[in-house]
Amino acid sequence: MIHAYVRVCCTFYCQSYGAEGNRSMGVPGEDLAGVYSAKDFVGWYNGLPSCRELSPDLSCETAVVLGQGNVALDVARILLCPLDILKSTDITQLALEALAESKVRRVLIVGRRGPVQVACTIKELREMVNLPDTRPEMVAADFEGVQEAVNDLPRPRKRLTELMLKTAMEVPGEKEQERRKKASRVWGFRFFRSPVEVLSDPDHKRTAGIRLAINMLEGSGESARAVLTGEVEDVTCGLVISSIGYKSLPIDASVPFDSHRAIVPNIMGRVQQATGLYCSGWLKTGPTGVIATTMNNSFDTARSVVEDMDSRRLDVSAGKPGSQSISALLDERGVKPVLFSDWEKIDALETRRGEAIGKPREKLLTVEEMLLEARK
């Protein structure tokens, strides 16, 4: 209801609230203890209040991450990162303490297709490769034919694939061999595998493993498709993190929403059949891309708005009440918004708390604590 009111008060209204939901695997055993969505796991170590009580079980040796995008690599990196590096970041104290007790020593990052189809980008891969006290462990057969395909790839994909090939296949020099021998933690990509079931322990309470279907690739490059071969393989693990994509959720019944693609249907950011309604960011295109992609995406929407103003499709002459009217409504309902200056108080407190222990900030983990500080 509030959305409809806001729209009436403004000349143009742009929704840009991203993708806070996640795609689920849709396999049996997904609800077992020890299975988490990357969205929740990332929310947990980043201090999102709704993820504070996640208490992920880190008592097993092997963790399997499903998905091979940047988020999957972030999860793997946090699971294996040496504590003395983590403790000077703004990771929550809660997560730091849990990771200090963690028994996880091996992380497999599993994808349906092959090395040339990974969704991650080179910066994140390089951070895994360079992670101290870890060594890579991959399956050479997975890289059959990749060296031959590399030269025809566009630059970003080429450099990424070359780094992967080097990490997986190249015989390391003496120094690197020594380093790998001493490493206490292991990570690796596993390709051509799709989850079919999360397997439980005899009491049917906790995760004991995951059953993966073995795929083969039909076609090549971006449009290659994973096709089931009928074979399966079981991997022992106690932690499964599914990182197969975020998903936008509809928040306003009056705004069209394509639930199949999980976006607001639009052309260049303009929502069709709705004057003055626009969208931007992941809500507009789906949850992919890096900062530059999303930035250009928002420039496109802004350009559409400017074009509509210039062509009079958007009528800016009709004075709209704007924020004053919305403030009045909130006031009437006893809603006290948090202003930027209030956020600055929260920011200052978190920064002070962090300074005391050598971190950029120590985050407040509940909305109550945040509001307490904001209202001071």
Looking at the Cβ atoms of 207 and 285, the one nearer to other proteins is 285
Distances (CA, A) of 346 to 42, 51, 358, 368: 21, 19, 18, 12
Q: What is the 3-state secondary structure (H, E, C) of 2-24?
A: HHHHHHHHCCCEEECCCCCEECC
Contact segment (CB under 8 A) with other proteins among 36-44, 81-89, 239-247, 287-295 equals 287-295
Q: Is 312 annotated as a binding residue?
A: no
Q: Distance between alpha carbon 349 and the CA centroid of its chain, in Å?
A: 27
Output the six-digit token pair for 332: 């009437």
Distances (CA, A) of 328 to 7, 47, 154, 197, 322: 15, 33, 54, 53, 10
Contact segment (CB under 8 A) with other proteins among 34-42, 89-97, 225-233, 285-293 equals 285-293
| Number of Cβ within a 10 Å radius of residue 36 | 22
Return the residue of 84, 140, 141, 155 that touches other proteins, per CB under 8 A.
155
Return the residue of 82, 145, 322, 360 that touches other proteins, per CB under 8 A.
322
The Cα 9–Cα 321 span in angstroms is 5
Report the nearest approach of other proteins to the CB of residue 184 (Å): 26
Using CB under 8 A as the binding rule, whether residue 288 contacts other proteins is answered as yes
The Cα 243–Cα 151 span in angstroms is 30
Using CB under 8 A as the binding rule, whether residue 273 contacts other proteins is answered as no
Contact segment (CB under 8 A) with other proteins among 104-112, 196-204, 233-241, 286-294 equals 286-294
Output the furthest CA–CA distance in the chain (Å, rounded).
73
Using CB under 8 A as the binding rule, whether residue 217 contacts other proteins is answered as no
Per DSSP, helices labelled H in 59-207 are 70-80, 83-86, 93-100, 122-129, 146-149, 155-169, 174-182
Report the nearest approach of other proteins to the CB of residue 119 (Å): 9
Contact segment (CB under 8 A) with other proteins among 91-99, 154-162, 196-204, 205-213 equals 154-162
The Cα 362–Cα 81 span in angstroms is 19
The Cα 257–Cα 248 span in angstroms is 9
Return the residue of 291, 318, 337, 376 that touches other proteins, per CB under 8 A.
291
Report the nearest approach of other proteins to the CB of residue 221 (Å): 9
Binding mask 69-108 for other proteins (x = CB under 8 A): ----------------------------------------
Q: Is 316 annotated as a binding residue?
A: no
Report the nearest approach of other proteins to the CB of residue 237 (Å): 29
Contact segment (CB under 8 A) with other proteins among 24-32, 51-59, 80-88, 316-324 equals 316-324
Return the residue of 16, 89, 93, 121 that touches other proteins, per CB under 8 A.
121
Q: Is 282 annotated as a binding residue?
A: yes
Q: Is 112 annotated as a binding residue?
A: yes
Using CB under 8 A as the binding rule, whether residue 290 contacts other proteins is answered as yes
Spatial contact of 287 and 281, defined as CB atoms under 8 Å apart: no
The Cα 109–Cα 64 span in angstroms is 6
Per DSSP, helices labelled H in the chain are 2-9, 38-46, 70-80, 83-86, 93-100, 122-129, 146-149, 155-169, 174-182, 282-285, 291-310, 323-332, 340-356, 367-374
Q: Is 68 annotated as a binding residue?
A: yes
The Cα 163–Cα 321 span in angstroms is 56
Task: State how beta strands 21-22 and 246-247 pair.
Answer: antiparallel
- What residues have CB less than 8 Å from 342, skipping those under 6 apart? 374, 375
| 3-class DSSP state of 109 | strand
Contacts (CB under 8 A) with other proteins, residues 334-363: 340-341
Return the residue of 35, 78, 81, 160 that touches other proteins, per CB under 8 A.
160
Q: Is 352 annotated as a binding residue?
A: no
Using CB under 8 A as the binding rule, whether residue 159 contacts other proteins is answered as yes
Task: State how beta strands 106-110 and 185-190 pair.
Answer: parallel
Return the residue of 50, 293, 327, 366 that touches other proteins, per CB under 8 A.
293
Binding site members for FAD:
282, 289-291
Binding site members:
68-71, 112-113, 124, 282, 289-291
Binding site members for NADP(+):
68-71, 112-113, 124, 289
Chain positions contacting other proteins, by CB under 8 A: 121-123, 126, 153-157, 159-160, 222, 288-293, 295-296, 299-300, 302, 305-306, 309-310, 316, 322, 324, 340-341
